[in-house]
Amino acid sequence: MTDRESTNFTLSCPLPLPAEAQILLAHGGGGRLMHRLIEDVFLPAFGTAGERHDGAVLEIGGVKLAFTTDAYVVRPLVFPGGDIGTLAVNGTVNDLAMCGATPRYLSAAFVLEEGVSTALLARIAAGMARAAAAAGVALVTGDTKVVDRGKGDGIYIATAGIGVVAHDVTIAPSRVRPGDAVLVNGDLGRHGIAIMSAREGLAFETTIESDCMPLNGPVAALLDAGVAVHCLRDCTRGGLASTLVEIAEATRLHIRLDERAVPVREEVRGACELLGLDPLYVANEGRFAAVVAPQDADRALAILRAQPGCEDAARIGHVSADDPGLVTMISAIGAARLVDMLSGEQLPRIC
Amino acid sequence: MTDRESTNFTLSCPLPLPAEAQILLAHGGGGRLMHRLIEDVFLPAFGTAGERHDGAVLEIGGVKLAFTTDAYVVRPLVFPGGDIGTLAVNGTVNDLAMCGATPRYLSAAFVLEEGVSTALLARIAAGMARAAAAAGVALVTGDTKVVDRGKGDGIYIATAGIGVVAHDVTIAPSRVRPGDAVLVNGDLGRHGIAIMSAREGLAFETTIESDCMPLNGPVAALLDAGVAVHCLRDCTRGGLASTLVEIAEATRLHIRLDERAVPVREEVRGACELLGLDPLYVANEGRFAAVVAPQDADRALAILRAQPGCEDAARIGHVSADDPGLVTMISAIGAARLVDMLSGEQLPRIC
């Protein structure tokens, strides 16, 4: 090989080595490192597969379908307000709902660690069945693999889901416009704090329960009422902050938040202060941000607040055209601060 | 609670505790224990979810779709003839093909262990993209989770797939009739032996490569030619034997095999003898059994043999009405023996 050929080879390499030679826990955290992994490893290989959306929207035989998948590795397997099974069902239901789809069918693939209790597995499977029934979806196909003792962590579950995009609307960052209102469907941070409390054996005055719930009902209520929903994104890993930065970066618009309007329960705020966490970055499993046309904002808020589990829905900010790609927040004392995506890993294995 | 009430409770318990209190490696082996896990844990919870088929066939908006999922935990991650990524793509493509569907879209959920090499991940992702292109499917959505060092085994992948059932045929055990011919699309046992050789550092005269390949091409060739295909099942975990016992039990018919007709390469037969394995139970990743109408058998065989990777396709037996639910095999010396499903675990983590 000549020098020239060698140079050409280097220049045309389709898979440049990413900056980190090893996978870190933060690569699973929903923040900057995870996005870099997608850009450096998955996008070069799969093209669209790593697209920054909660699912893919496909057209098959004239039917518009949404298709999504998620792996669940939450620790502990059972926590206040849910378990890995309810999370695996609701998480995939919610990703479909965020595409504006009606979730219909779910698959579940289990990776079991040798030695895990069969009774625990049965309990988790029963919980999944209840969660599926509550969300109106059918678990139709599955798989089970077993790994050696010490090579897993009890139970991992990967669910995939198919939904039908019935409404003739496109819900995507490209539809967001300056002036749009930003809503959230309830108080933030409970899931992450519930997991951390369970994992670290922390006891607060009140037991903080995960907000884990299906979001297809609230989304359907908005769409059925004809609300001009421009963008939806669930606030899971990386919390509300990372979700909004994703939207701001994708739209090249500026999202302005009002800190006083962001609903956080007193006990969650207290736990966050104690633990040095920012509730804006704590994971949720039943919360989403909705960007809607300004004239529909009040109506959308009323519709959301009528949904079970969404009583604390709030209008937390708006979209503006200046400072493209940024999220800023006006604090209670009137100071503005920049809100960035989660850059490391606040709390691993949250979902 | 009275005795009477207590009795009622026991009788109506929807989730009887299975015989094994803990999950064993053999629960992932594709044999008896896995079927018991499905019957004891998953069927009571999910109803149809654990159905003994490679996927679910659904109708959405007048379109007939197949939907399937599999988790992959193969060890080692890279082996002669493939890696966990090509396996994850081909395995799900093949499950869709076994439903008579044209595979279209795949999802991939990764569970990465902290510390795994990013270069290895990129290599595996690139292999998945190549396998997807070869099978004519698009990887459209994905997810990545990271678990702590020591809580995984490098990389686990769960893929799910959507296919379109275009042909107006039902491929199911219910269509199998006495007299039908049983075909297999090539030589058996290479995948399992390739994995075992790689894992145990065994060196045979020839490197035995996995038979891992997409099966949608061969299946489409049969269906496009109008062959009366009654049942298809890929011979993965548990090997050809477990596959055929599943069909025999589901149809309540008898499958009679001719041992001399079952294609096994000399080097695989030698390795099996050395290791005390029966090639009938060794896993394959590019092999399937097809039950076809007797008058179409010769034509089907010729069609299969014209497909790349299926040159050794063979007619290995037939279906009869006596001894319902059994599989028997006439040996080279004329003795008949009963072929049962894999009862324990011949070799774990094969896929």
- A225: Cβ–Cβ under 8 A, 6 or more apart, which residues? A299, A300, A303
Question: Which of B291, B279, B217, B282 is CA-nearest to residue B254?
Answer: B291
Query: Residues of B with CB below 8 A from A145's CB?
Result: 28, 71-73, 349, 351
Size of interface A-B (CB pairs under 8 A): 306
Contact yes or no for A71 and B145 at CB 8 A: yes
CA nearest neighbour of B165 among B45, B270, B65, B26: B65
Angstrom distance (rounded) from CA B207 to CA B203 = 7
In angstroms, the CA B298 to CA A3 distance is 57
Contacts of A108 in chain B (CB under 8 A): 46, 49, 69
Give A335→chain B minimum CA distance, Å. 36
Tokens of A240: 């509300």
Backbone angles phi, psi at A91, to 5 degrees: -60, -45
Q: What is the pLDDT of residue B7?
A: 32
- Residue B32, pLDDT score: 85
How many separate helices (H) and strands (E) can be counted in chain B? 10, 14
CA-based nearest residue in chain A for residue B161: A160
The per-residue pLDDT for B16 is 46
Of B88, B57, B89, nearest in space to B163 by CA: B57
Which pLDDT score is estimated for B213?
A: 97
ipTM here: 0.91
Count of alpha carbons within 13 angstroms of residue B9, beta-carbon side: 6
Yes or no, beta carbons of B71 and A104 under 8 Å apart: no
Confirm if A104 and A90 have CB atoms less than 8 A apart. no
B49 with A18: Cβ contact below 8 A = no
**Residue B106 pLDDT greater than 70, yes or no:** yes
Question: Which of B15, B17, B23, B54 is the best residue to mutate to test the A interface, defined by the most A CB atoms within 10 Å of its own CB?
Answer: B23
pLDDT score, position A167: 63
Q: Where are the alpha helices (DSSP H) in A99-167?
A: 118-135
Is there a contact between B143 and A69 if contact means CB atoms under 8 Å apart?
yes
For B47, residues 6+ apart whose C-beta sits below 8 A from its C-beta are A129
Among A23, A50, A162, whose Cβ lies nearest the Cβ of B114?
A23
Looking at residue B204, its pLDDT comes to 77
Kindly determine whether residue B121 and residue A146, on different chains, have CB atoms separated by under 8 Å: no
Q: Residue B330 forms beta bridges with which residues? A: B258, B336
Distance from CA of A42 to the nearest CA of B (A): 7
Minimum CA–CA partner of A70 in chain B = B143
Examine the pLDDT at B215 and tell me if it is beyond 90: yes
For residues A271-283, average pLDDT: 92
- Give the CA distances from residue B213 to residues A45, A339, B186, in Å, rounded to whole numbers and listed in that order: 19, 48, 11
pLDDT of residue B47: 81
Helix (H) or strand (E) holding A90: helix A84-98
Joined together, the tokens standing for residue B130 give 């190549």
Q: Is the pLDDT of residue A92 over 60?
A: yes
Least confident of B45-54, B168-177, B185-194: B45-54
Q: Do A114 and B24 touch (CB under 8 A)?
A: yes
Q: Where are the alpha helices (DSSP H) in chain B?
A: 3-12, 32-37, 43-46, 84-98, 118-135, 190-200, 216-224, 239-251, 266-275, 297-305
Residue-wise pLDDT for B160-187, tens only, equals: 999 999 867 789 899 999 999 999 999 9
Nearest CA among A312, A313, A284 for reference residue A300: A313
Contacts for A241 with CB less than 8 Å, ≥ 6 apart: A278, A280, A281, A327, A339, A340, A341, A342
Which residue on chain A is closest to B22 by alpha carbon? A117
Judged against a pLDDT cut of 50, whether residue A334 lies above it is answered with yes
- Helices B297-305 and B216-224 pack at an angle, to 10 degrees, of 140
Q: Do A65 and B70 touch (CB under 8 A)?
A: no
Q: What is the mean pLDDT of residues B297-324?
A: 97
- Alpha-carbon distance A214 to A135, whole Å? 6
Give chain A positions within 8 Å (CB) of B41: 118, 121-122, 125
* Smallest Cα distance from A258 to chain B, Å: 31
pLDDT at position B4:
36
- Residues A324-350: what's their mean pLDDT? 88
Residue B107 and residue A25 in contact, taking contact as beta carbons nearer than 8 Å: no
Instruction: For residues A198-207, give the mean pLDDT.
Output: 83
Facing B41 at nearest CB: one of A44, A122, A351: A122
Residue B19 pLDDT: 60
By C-alpha distance, the chain A residue nearest B35 is A144
State the nearest Cα–Cα gap between B6 and chain A, in angstroms: 20
pLDDT of residue A3: 36
Instruction: Determine how many CB atoms are found less than 10 A away from the CB of residue B250.
Output: 17
Task: Give chain B's domains with CATH numbers.
Answer: 55-164 (3.30.1330.10), 173-339 (3.90.650.10)
Candidates B63, B71, B117; nearest CB to A61: B63
Report residue B272 as tokens.
């099996």
Contact B41 A118 (CB under 8 A): yes
Output phi, psi for A63, to 5 deg.
-100, 130
How high is the pLDDT of residue B345?
A: 72
Q: What pLDDT, on a 0 to 100 scale, did the predictor assign at position B50?
A: 40
Work out the mean pLDDT of chain B and round it to a whole number.
Answer: 90
Q: What is the pLDDT of residues A142-171, one digit of tens each?
A: 999 999 999 999 999 999 999 999 867 789
- Which of A21-30, A316-325, B252-261 shows the lowest mean pLDDT across its residues? A21-30
Band the pLDDT of B53: cuts 50, 70, 90: low
Max avg pLDDT among A22-26, A179-183, B37-41, B321-325: A179-183
pLDDT one-digit tens code per residue, B112-155: 999 999 999 999 999 999 999 999 999 999 999 999 999 999 99
pLDDT of res. B3: 36
Q: Is the pLDDT of residue A242 over 70?
A: yes
Rounded CA gap, A117 and A140, in Å? 24
> Which residues sit opposite B142 in a β-bridge?
B108
pLDDT of residue A144: 94
* Chain B residues inside the 8 Å CB shell of A44: 122, 125-126
- Token digits of residue B251: 């149809």
CB count within 10 Å of CB A78 equals: 16
Specify the pLDDT at position B146: 95
Min distance A208 CA to chain B CA atoms (Å):
24
Q: What number is the average pLDDT over the span B256-263?
A: 96
Question: Residue B34's closest CA among B237, B326, B189, B231?
Answer: B237
Whether B93 shows a pLDDT value over 70: the answer reads: yes
Chain B residues with beta carbon closer than 8 angstroms to that of A104: 58, 60
Higher pLDDT, B15 or B50: B15
Residues A259-275 have pLDDT tens digits of: 999 999 999 999 999 88
CB contact under 8 A, B45 and A126: yes
The Cα–Cα gap between B214 and B209 comes to 15
**Chain A residues with CB-CB distance to B148 below 8 A:** 25, 153, 348-349
Query: What is the pLDDT at residue A53?
Result: 66
Percentages (nearest 5) of helix, strand, coil residues in chain A: 35, 25, 40
- Average pLDDT (A120-147) is 96
Span A217-225, mean pLDDT?
A: 96
Q: How close, in Å, is residue A63 to chain B by CA atoms?
A: 6
